[in-house]
Amino acid sequence: MIIKPRVRGFMCVTTHPVGCEANVGQQIDYVKAQGPIPNGPKRVLVIGASTGYGLASRISAAFGAGASTLGIFFEKEGTEKKPGTAGWYNSAAFHKFAEAEGIYAKSINGDAFSDAIKEKTIAEIKADLGQVDLVVYSLASPRRQHPKTGEVFNSTLKPIGKDVTQRGVNTDKETIENFTLVAANEDEINNTVAVMGGEDWQMWIDALDEAGVLADGAKTTAYTYLGDKLTWDIYWHGTIGAAKKDLDKRVINIREKLARTGGDARVSVLKAVVTQASSAIPVMPLYLALLFKAMKADGSHEGCIEQVYGLFKNSLYGDAPIKDEEGRLRADGLEMRPEIQAAVAQMWDDVTTENLLATTDFAGYKREFLRLFGFEIDGVDYDADVDPVVEINNMA
Ligand SMILES: NC(=O)c1ccc[n+]([C@@H]2O[C@H](COP(=O)([O-])OP(=O)(O)OC[C@H]3O[C@@H](n4cnc5c(N)ncnc54)[C@H](O)[C@@H]3O)[C@@H](O)[C@H]2O)c1
């Protein structure tokens, strides 16, 4: 099959297995070039391990610290007629590269919110690893079925308390438009917290702890985004922000539990990057196009792998973790610099449909977006025939 990108809104419905493999290979090369993470983790569970920040976490642990990794994700494999999801191909590639270096990797494909997948994970840890010393929680999902009540919650990306009108880019038409988002009602807020808040993280840690598969000194982290004034209406002060504030609440309990055996739990703040999750958030494509412009101009541009490798080395396993007053680990310092935010704000006022490509790095945004699906990767022959059916070695 010859596979070309087919973009529909904030999704690309096709994916390229060879491009995804090259993408994973480049992230591994980055980590190897940076060198080992001293005192890094050795047995790591990554929940949401197939794309974005979770994949970068798995790569940093395995290739930065030589860790055995168990990855949980929810992906579709390809068939003769239809490519699989990017996360499927990324994981197949990760396994291949890890195996080639004798690094243990196993993966479980299924709904991480369910009790069944938690039980299966515990059984795999017991059988192969004994215990884990790091649990990375990196799920991003639009829905969650509650494991105890069976209720299905859908998340929304809306402001709270007021309607918000903000300029954004229509990514299909490549035009600048005003987007109005209507304030969420109480149910929408609660449902978003149920999906993206900390309850499931807590359930995971409770289940792992009860099963005795958390090593003494085990750590866990869940990822969050804070942003600055420009995105607050939609993000931090909106429904997704309410869910992220729930992580900040829940982490206290989780930390107390792990502290009993010398461990720790932290929410880690990462910068805005292009992922399948972030491209679905209104305003984010324009914010990212402007942020890339500002950060590339001063040489501080970073993607998932740079962020997570830095988080592991400096904060999760560093001697002097970068922490804020709330006790969160911070890797978003470069994005939050006042001069970067001011530059983004200025460009936001100036951008029009006509000057979109000159004022912003929308071209860079689009490239990053297509790369998520295995396209736009240098050295990949997109006219060549590829087999969409790719096995993941060592699936549980
Ligand atoms: N993208 C950003 O700009 C950004 C910035 C800061 C923090 N974060 C946070 O990082 C975390 C990861 O987000 P991302 O942007 O890397 O998203 P992503 O969409 O790239 O990754 C989501 C992962 O979750 C998995 N997943 C989704 N639903 C699942 C389910 N039911 N069961 C099992 N696995 C499931 C997917 O397979 C994938 O591995 C989120 O908490 C997000 O809020 C993202």
pLDDT at 282 over 80: no
Distance CA(324)–CA(340), nearest Å, equals 20
Regarding the beta carbon of 113 and ligand 1, being less than 6 Å apart is answered yes
Which pair of structure tokens corresponds to residue 87?
A: 């996360």
Q: How far apart are CA 132 and CA 204, in angstroms?
A: 13
Predicted confidence band at 151 (pLDDT cuts at 50, 70, 90)?
very high
Q: What's residue 176's pLDDT? A: 94
Overall average pLDDT of the 131-150 stretch: 98
Q: Which of 131, 189, 138 is nearest to 159 (CA)?
A: 189
Average pLDDT over residues 294-314: 98
Please give the share of the chain, as a percent, with pLDDT higher than 90: 96
Confidence of residue 278 (pLDDT cuts 50, 70, 90): confident
The pLDDT value given to residue 228? 94
* Residues with active-site annotation: 235
- Mean pLDDT across the stretch 353-367? 95
Sorting pLDDT into bands at 50, 70 and 90, what band is 8?
confident
The pLDDT score that the predictor gives to residue 280 is 80
Known binding-site residues for substrate equal 225
Q: How many CB atoms lie within 10 A of CB 99?
A: 13
ipTM surpasses 0.95:
yes
Q: How many whole angstroms separate alpha carbon 85 and alpha carbon 12?
A: 10
Please give the number of the atom of ligand 1 that sits closest to the Cα of 50: 39
pLDDT confidence of residue 87: 98
Phi, psi of 242 (to 5 degrees): -60, -40
Q: How far is CA 391 from CA 24, 46, 57, 245, 387, in A?
A: 16, 20, 22, 39, 11
CA 48 / ligand 1 centre spacing (Å)? 6
Q: Whose CA is nearest to atom 38 of ligand 1?
A: 48
Rounded to 5 degrees, what are φ and ψ at 31?
-65, -45
- Cα(138) to ligand 1 centroid in Å equals 5
Ligand 1 pocket residue status of 139, Cβ below 6 Å: yes
Q: Is 275 a pocket residue for ligand 1 (Cβ < 6 Å)?
A: yes
Minimal-distance CA residue to ligand 1 atom 8: 224
Which of ligand 1's atoms lies nearest the C-alpha of 51? 20
Residue stretches of the annotated binding site = 48-53, 74-75, 111-112, 139-140, 225, 244, 273-275
- pLDDT score for 312: 98
pTM: 0.98
Residue 156's Cβ-count burial label (10 Å; 0-12, 13-18, 19+) is middle
| 21, two tokens | 């493999």
Q: Please tell me if the CB atom of residue 278 comes closer than 6 angstroms to any atom of ligand 1.
A: yes
Task: Compute CA distances 294 → 53, 125, 135, 153, 234, whole Å.
Answer: 22, 44, 34, 37, 21
**Confidence grade of residue 9 (pLDDT, cut at 50, 70, 90):** confident
Mutate to test the pocket of ligand 1, among 53, 306, 372 (most ligand atoms within 8 A of CB): 53
Q: Hey, how many other C-beta atoms are within 10 angstroms of the C-beta on 314?
A: 17
For strands 132-137 and 143-145, give the pairing. Answer: unpaired
Q: 87 CB under 6 A from ligand 1?
A: yes
Which of 10, 11, 72, 74 gets mutated to test ligand 1 (max ligand atoms within 8 A of its CB)? Answer: 74
Q: Is the CB of 54 under 6 A from ligand 1?
A: yes
Q: Is residue 365 predicted with pLDDT exceeding 90?
A: yes
Residue 282: phi and psi, rounded to 5, are -55, 145
**pLDDT of res. 277:** 84
Does residue 144 carry a pLDDT above 90? yes
For the segment 187-211, the average pLDDT, to the nearest whole number, is 98
What mean pLDDT is predicted for residues 139-154?
97
Mean pLDDT of 178-204: 97
> Is the separation of the CB atoms in 335 and 271 below 8 Å?
yes
pLDDT at 198 over 90: yes
In 3D, which of 279, 365, 369, 373 has the Cα closest to residue 3?
373
How much of the chain is in helix, strand and coil states, percent to nearest 5? Answer: 45, 15, 40
Contact between 305 and 331 under an 8 Å Cβ cutoff? The reply is no
Q: Which residues contact 357 (CB under 8 A, 6 or more apart)?
A: 363
302 C-beta closer than 6 A to ligand 1: no
Question: How is 200-218 classified by DSSP, letter by letter?
Answer: HHHHHHHHHHHTT-EEEEE
Cα–Cα distance, 55 to 97 (Å, whole number): 13
- Cα-to-centroid distance, 223 and ligand 1 (Å): 9
**Helices first, then strands: H and E counts in the chain:** 14, 13
Ligand 1 centroid vs 139 CA: distance in angstroms? 4
* Distance between Cα 222 and ligand 1 center (Å): 10
Across 7-142, the runs of DSSP E, i.e. the strands, are 7-8, 11-12, 43-47, 68-73, 105-109, 132-137
- Give the rounded percent of residues in the chain with a pLDDT score beyond 70: 100
* 136-160: average pLDDT: 97
Spacing, Cα 38 to ligand 1 middle (Å): 26
Does residue 75 line the site of ligand 1, with CB under 6 A? yes
Q: What is the mean pLDDT of the chain?
A: 96
Question: What confidence tens digit (pLDDT) does each residue in 77-119 have?
Answer: 999 999 999 999 999 999 999 999 999 999 999 999 999 999 9
